[in-house]
Structure 1
Amino acid sequence: MITYRQGNNLDLDAVIELYRESTLGERRPIADRARMAAMLQNANLVITAWDGVKLIGISRALTDFAYVTYLSDLAVHQAYQKQGIGKELIRRTKAAADPRASLILLAAPAAEKYYPHIGFTHMPQAWRINADENI
């Protein structure tokens, strides 16, 4: 039975292992423990999915709890994908922030087809400056 929890007081090793097992670790600094710890600690809305004591999913977000929520990470262990866990993590994230708040994200290339499937609208107006670029 899958259970869900809210909060970012998590074992960093378990989080890094989940990122690795979900393939999100390919696009996150999982070898930099201090940076991963800061990412987790500074997220102000974290919802997790558990199979017993095993962390199998995470939604890591930043929100103002009123108007907008940025879903920075959505990761589900590969062995648990296609069971609705990601969708439930997103649903709980949206509800915990404020059901009236918009939810935005940048999709990983492998997940681009997933988000429209669950109801997201593609917004081509998004812009980004990479960490190694200046204004």
Structure 2
Amino acid sequence: MEITLSDRRTIKIEAILELYRANEWSSADKPSELYNGLMNSHSLFSAWDKDRLVGIGNAISDGFLVVYYPHLLVHPDFQGKGIGKMIMDKMQEKYGHFHMQMLTADGKAIDFYQKAGFTKAGDTEPMWIYKGDEHG
């Protein structure tokens, strides 16, 4: 297995949907919105095993001070192989100097992001209006 990272925006929607469905993310139920959201992100990094999309991460940012990481996912068959870390390292190359980097994590993702240097945001409470049901 040789994983390569790319910042290209020429990813077929079918590959994206397969990755999101494999991870049971509800955004796969809104394919057009998901695709357009990813393609219009400030940054988009994808991980490839030859021509198979195995991971993806995006960032939304003002480009100077604040960045938010909405999505970072790796196909279940490829998890635990350092692919998520590779994508987050690319994000840190670009945004590591920013004043504030934000994300929302739950489950196994909490440990992953703590290892990447993220901490609980003081006494803040995460809040959202969310249309999915996978985060109970």
Provide the TM-score with structure 2 as the length reference.
Answer: 0.82
RMSD: 1.9
CA contact (8 A) 2:7 2:45 kept: yes
Deviation at 1:106, TM superposition (A): 0.5
Greater than 4 Å deviation, 4+ residue runs:
none
CA drift of 1:64 comes to 2.2
Tell me, yes or no, if the aligned pair for 2:9 and 2:39 is still in contact at 8 Å. Answer: yes
1:9-33 alpha-carbon deviations (Å, 9 max, x no partner):
3111101111122x2x33x321222
Unaligned runs of 5+ in 2: 132-136
Which one of 44, 47, 53 corresponds to residue 42 of structure 2?
44
Report the secondary structure of 1:113's partner residue: helix
* Residue of structure 1 equivalent to 2:56: 58
- Confirm whether residue 99 of structure 1 aligns to residue 100 of structure 2: no
Q: How many angstroms apart in 2 are the aligned matches of 1:94 and 1:69?
A: 11
More displaced 10-residue stretch of structure 1: 98-107 or 51-60: 98-107
1:69 aligns with one of 64, 67, 73: 67
1:37 to partner: Cα distance: 2.1
Q: Is the 8 A contact 1:69 1:94 kept in 2?
A: no
- 1:33 equivalent to 2:31? Answer yes
3-state SS in 1 of match to 2:27: coil
Residue type of the alignment partner of 2:30:
D
Amino acid in the other structure paired with 1:113: D
| Alpha-carbon displacement from aligned partner over 1:61-85 (angstroms, at most 9, x marks no partner) | 1122221211110001111111111
Unaligned runs of 5+ in 1: none
1:7/1:108 CA distance change after superposition, 3 Å? farther
| Percent identical residues | 27
Segment drifting more, 49-58 vs 7-16: 7-16
Q: Does 2:13 align with 1:12? A: yes
SS in 2 for 1:103: strand
Q: TM-score, normalised by structure 1?
A: 0.83
